[in-house]
């Protein structure tokens, strides 16, 4: 409904893909890398969206977010193990159904644990940034150890369901089937998120709360209840992201959350803390760049995301889409 | 005029960190009238409004709205044990607050700002059309910029939006903090005209002002604050007609305005 949209960060995404084309050389390889980058970007966006809203709404920096990502991935291993027969089926519908069940289970468990995490760990330290950081990191460590207790310390293989293995040939480009599923799921989540934020009163309250919490309370809304809801939803989305991430990596380790967490913080800082659109653009940039650099100069992959963050912050110190009024 | 107080503060103290800002504020806001809260910078006017809204807790004393205790530590002088209400609960008693910084959501459109203040509406279409047209009549700029981001409005238009937002649904009490601040005289005249229209609806208003002309034009009652206390309470007409009293209570600079 708001009239203006700053298109330059969006142009940056297109520009990055455009610049990479001649560098990569082969068009089919470029298409493969671009689709893989978009898929990774969508997964990272799903996992990061809750983190940025939680920070925007209540200034809570939740370093425990990684826990929900790991939970989502491990729940997927359990669902796949329990439904081994379905996982071996060659029917596409059965495979998609299995992925759907795993995603729902991951979201349910992560969301529920998220509610408890907010009540027990985050609520006592509202307004104390240092304590938040320490206590949420502590919560994540405890959670990670509990995951080892439940699922064991060893890595668990998470092969895709039979019918979703391998790639499709689109023209000359090979596209991983599972990545297509990830992009589709990401688009659905994005659409639902945008619809909720822009077309519902709850979404309006969230957007307003990110700008000026005190005024939203002065208008008679209980922002803490809203925050608890956003925290649980954000945790559920982290679980969904973890589930998809684990399936794409095909292997799940107890450290999975910590690995993804670094990416998530880079993404929400690039995007502008608290901004949903910024989170999406940041995630796409990180996803694309990681894939291009991984192909062109594999050794520089680890550095590329940090380098991107440095470059973006030099250009826009508040991130791509700074939240005003803060 | 009625003498029944809709809002009353008794011996209210407020501390902000190490600072003791309010030193026992006694204030009554009669129902259906406009009460002006005057005083120099730093006298505690804004703190008084924020304390009423529960944005800063009263450390002593009590605040009552329509006979119900809404603020102040429990078990204080009046012996009440009701806990102080939180800001959203206070607002939900039908109290609207326009803060000094106006509290406009600049990323949201004018329409969305209005929708937020209308607690009974879920969409812009559900806003009370009659009331909206009435507000558009008072503040035509809001209609012009209805779908524009509120951050793009001028300072005067933002103030109009802040006040219109407080009036989008009938409220029992309006708290408005220095609406004339930083506005050109012509805009202040518009604002006075609009607030006079609001006054005709017999809404109870507590209005903080430094602009004495505005205070005279709108006020039924006046309370003057100094150093965290209310040092004078009475009819506005009495203060408006007594220059010596103005000089004594408000200082030279304000009297020179009048």
Side by side, the strands of the sheet bearing B68-71 are B19-30, B5-16, B58-65, B68-71
Average pLDDT of the segment spanning A53-78: 91
The shortest C-alpha distance from A211 to chain B (Å) reads 7
Average pLDDT of the segment spanning B98-106: 94
- Report yes or no: B222 and B193 within 8 Å, Cβ to Cβ: no
Residue A36 lies in a domain: no
Q: At what angle do helices A256-271 and A27-58 cross, to 10 degrees?
A: 80
Is the pLDDT at B1 greater than 70? The verdict is: no
Q: What pLDDT digit, counting tens, does each position of B109-120 carry?
A: 999 999 999 999
Is the pLDDT at A326 greater than 70? The verdict is: no
Average pLDDT of the segment spanning B127-154: 94
Percent of chain A clearing pLDDT 90 (strictly above): 63
* Other residues' Cβ atoms within 10 Å of the Cβ of residue A15: 11
Question: Taking chain A, what is the end-to-end CA distance rounded to the nearest angstrom?
Answer: 21
> Quick one: how far is CA B1 from the chain centroid?
19
Q: Which residue has the tokens 């109870």?
A: B204
| Of the listed ranges A142-151, B92-101, B159-168, B239-248, the one predicted with least confidence | B239-248
Using CB atoms, pick whichever of B86, B107, B151 lies closest to residue A207. B107
Average pLDDT of the segment spanning B185-214: 90
Q: Which helix (H) or strand (E) covers residue A141, if one does?
A: helix A129-151
The shortest C-alpha distance from A219 to chain B (Å) reads 6
CA B81, B86, B87, B91 torsion: positive or negative? negative
Q: At what angle do helices A129-151 and A256-271 cross, to 10 degrees?
A: 150
Tokens of A44: 């990272």
Residues of chain A found within 8 Å of residue B92, distances taken between Cβ atoms: 220
List all residues 6 or more positions away from A317 whose beta carbon is below 8 Å from its beta carbon: none
Using CB atoms, pick whichever of B92, B103, B151 lies closest to residue A220. B92
List all residues 6 or more positions away from A180 whose beta carbon is below 8 Å from its beta carbon: A35, A39, A168
Which residues partner with B173 through β-bridges?
A: B95, B204
Residue A18 lies in a domain: no
Give me the number of domains chain A comprises. Answer: 1
Residue A3 confidence class, pLDDT cut points 50, 70, 90: very low
Residue A274 lies in a domain: no
The shortest C-alpha distance from A217 to chain B (Å) reads 5
Residue A222 lies in a domain: yes
Max Cα distance, chain A (Å):
59
pLDDT at residue B254, as a whole number: 47
Is the pLDDT at A35 greater than 60? The verdict is: yes
Q: Which residue has the tokens 């700029």?
A: B141
Residue A287 lies in a domain: no
- Quickly list DSSP for B107-121: TSBHHHHHHHH-TT-
Domain of A97 in residue numbering reads as 45-265
Q: What pLDDT digit, counting tens, does each position of B170-180 carry?
A: 999 999 999 99
- Report yes or no: B168 and B114 within 8 Å, Cβ to Cβ: yes
- Report yes or no: B35 and B222 within 8 Å, Cβ to Cβ: yes
Q: What pLDDT digit, counting tens, does each position of A294-311 carry?
A: 999 998 888 899 999 999
Average pLDDT of the segment spanning B221-232: 94
A223–chain B Cβ distance below 8 A for any pair: yes
Residue A324 confidence class, pLDDT cut points 50, 70, 90: low
Is the pLDDT at B102 greater than 60? The verdict is: yes
Could you give the CA distance from residue B249 to residue B223 in angstroms, rounded to a whole number?
Answer: 10
How many CB pairs (< 8 A) connect A and B? 76
Q: What pLDDT digit, counting tens, does each position of A211-265 carry?
A: 899 999 999 999 989 999 999 999 999 999 999 999 999 999 988 988 888 899 9
The shortest C-alpha distance from A128 to chain B (Å) reads 15
- Report yes or no: B164 and B135 within 8 Å, Cβ to Cβ: yes
Nearest-Cα residue of chain B relative to residue A322: B107
Residue B3 confidence class, pLDDT cut points 50, 70, 90: low
Residue A53 lies in a domain: yes
A205–chain B Cβ distance below 8 A for any pair: yes
Could you give the CA distance from residue B23 to residue B12 in angstroms, rounded to a whole number?
Answer: 7
- Quickly list DSSP for A191-254: HHHHHHHHHSHHHHHHHHHHH-HHHHHHTT--HHHHHHHHHHHHHHHHHHHHHHHHHHHTEE-T
Average pLDDT of the segment spanning A23-37: 89
Residues of chain A found within 8 Å of residue B123, distances taken between Cβ atoms: 201
* Other residues' Cβ atoms within 10 Å of the Cβ of residue A79: 21
- Report yes or no: A237 and A189 within 8 Å, Cβ to Cβ: yes
DSSP state, residue B149: B
pLDDT at residue A2, as a whole number: 42
Is the pLDDT at B21 greater than 70? The verdict is: yes
- pTM value? 0.86
Is the pLDDT at A281 greater than 70? The verdict is: yes
Nearest-Cα residue of chain A relative to residue B52: A218
CA B246, B249, B255, B258 torsion: positive or negative? negative
Residues of chain A found within 8 Å of residue B99, distances taken between Cβ atoms: 214-215, 218
- Quickly list DSSP for A158-181: -PPPGGG-SEEEETTEEEEHHHHH
Using CB atoms, pick whichever of A4, A215, A323 lies closest to residue B103. A215
Q: What pLDDT digit, counting tens, does each position of A165-184 carry?
A: 888 887 777 888 888 899 99
Is the pLDDT at B77 greater than 80? The verdict is: no
Q: At what angle do helices A201-211 and B110-117 cross, to 10 degrees?
A: 100
Average pLDDT of the segment spanning A31-54: 92
pLDDT at residue B258, as a whole number: 43
User: What CA–CA distances, in Å, run from A123 to A14, A136, A278?
Assistant: 41, 11, 27
List all residues 6 or more positions away from A83 whose beta carbon is below 8 Å from its beta carbon: A98, A101
CB contact under 8 A, B107 and A221: no
CA B210, B216, B219, B222 torsion: positive or negative? positive
Residue A1 confidence class, pLDDT cut points 50, 70, 90: very low
């Amino acid at each position: 409904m708001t009239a203006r949209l700053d298109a330059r960060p969006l142009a940056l995404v297109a520009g990055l893909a455009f610049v990479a084309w001649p560098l990569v050389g082969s068009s089919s390889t470029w298409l493969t890398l671009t689709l893989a980058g978009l898929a990774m970007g969508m997964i990272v966006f799903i996992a990061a969206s809750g983190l940025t809203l939680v920070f925007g709404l209540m200034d809570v920096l939740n370093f425990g977010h990684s826990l929900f990502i790991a939970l989502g991935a491990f729940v997927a291993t359990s669902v796949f193990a329990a439904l081994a027969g379905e996982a071996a089926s060659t029917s596409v519908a059965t495979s998609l159904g299995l992925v759907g069940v795993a995603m729902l289970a991951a979201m349910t468990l992560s969301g529920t644990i998220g509610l408890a995490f907010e009540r027990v760990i985050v609520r006592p330290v509202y307004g104390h940034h240092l304590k938040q950081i320490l206590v949420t990191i502590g919560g994540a460590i405890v959670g990670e150890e509990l995951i080892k207790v439940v699922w064991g310390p060893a890595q668990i293989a998470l092969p895709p369901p039979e019918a979703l293995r391998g790639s499709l040939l689109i023209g000359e480009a090979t596209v991983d089937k599972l990545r297509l599923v990830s992009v589709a799921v990401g688009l659905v989540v994005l659409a639902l998120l945008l619809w909720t934020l822009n077309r519902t009163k709850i979404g309006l309250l969230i957007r307003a709360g990110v700008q000026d919490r005190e005024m939203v309370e002065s208008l008679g809304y209980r922002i803490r209840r809203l925050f608890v809801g956003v925290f649980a939803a954000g945790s559920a989305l982290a679980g969904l992201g973890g589930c998809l991430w684990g399936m794409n990596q095909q292997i799940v380790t107890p450290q999975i959350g910590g690995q993804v967490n670094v990416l998530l913080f880079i993404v929400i800082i690039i995007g502008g803390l608290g901004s949903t659109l910024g989170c999406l653009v940041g995630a796409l940039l990180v996803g694309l760049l990681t894939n291009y650099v991984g192909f062109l100069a594999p050794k520089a992959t680890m550095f590329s995301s940090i380098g991107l963050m440095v470059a973006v912050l030099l250009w826009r110190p508040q991130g791509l889409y700074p939240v005003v009024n803060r | 005029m009625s003498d029944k107080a809709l809002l009353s503060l008794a011996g209210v103290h407020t501390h902000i960190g190490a600072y003791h800002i309010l030193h026992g504020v006694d204030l009554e806001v009669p129902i259906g009238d406009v009460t002006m809260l005057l005083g120099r910078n730093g006298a505690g006017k804004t703190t008084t409004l924020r304390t009423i809204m529960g944005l800063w807790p009263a450390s002593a004393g009590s605040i009552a709205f329509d006979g119900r205790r809404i603020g102040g530590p429990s078990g204080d002088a009046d012996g009440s044990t009701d806990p102080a209400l939180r800001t959203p609960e206070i607002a939900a008693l039908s109290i609207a607050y326009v803060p000094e910084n106006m509290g406009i959501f600049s990323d949201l459109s004018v329409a969305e700002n209005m929708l937020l203040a209308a607690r009974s509406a879920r969409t812009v279409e559900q806003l009370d059309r009659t009331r909206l047209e009435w507000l558009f009549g008072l503040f035509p700029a809001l209609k012009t910029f209805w779908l524009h981001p509120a951050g793009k409005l001028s300072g005067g238009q933002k103030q109009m939006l802040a006040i219109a937002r407080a009036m989008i649904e009938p409220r029992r009490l309006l708290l408005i903090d220095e609406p004339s601040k930083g506005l050109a005289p012509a805009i202040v005249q518009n604002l006075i005209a609009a607030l006079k229209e609001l006054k005709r609806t017999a809404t109870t208003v507590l209005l903080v002002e430094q602009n004495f002309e505005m205070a005279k034009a709108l006020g039924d009652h006046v309370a003057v604050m100094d150093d965290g206390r209310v040092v004078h309470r009475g009819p506005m007409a009495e203060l408006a007609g007594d220059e010596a009293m103005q000089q004594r209570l408000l200082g030279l600079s304000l009297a020179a305005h009048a």
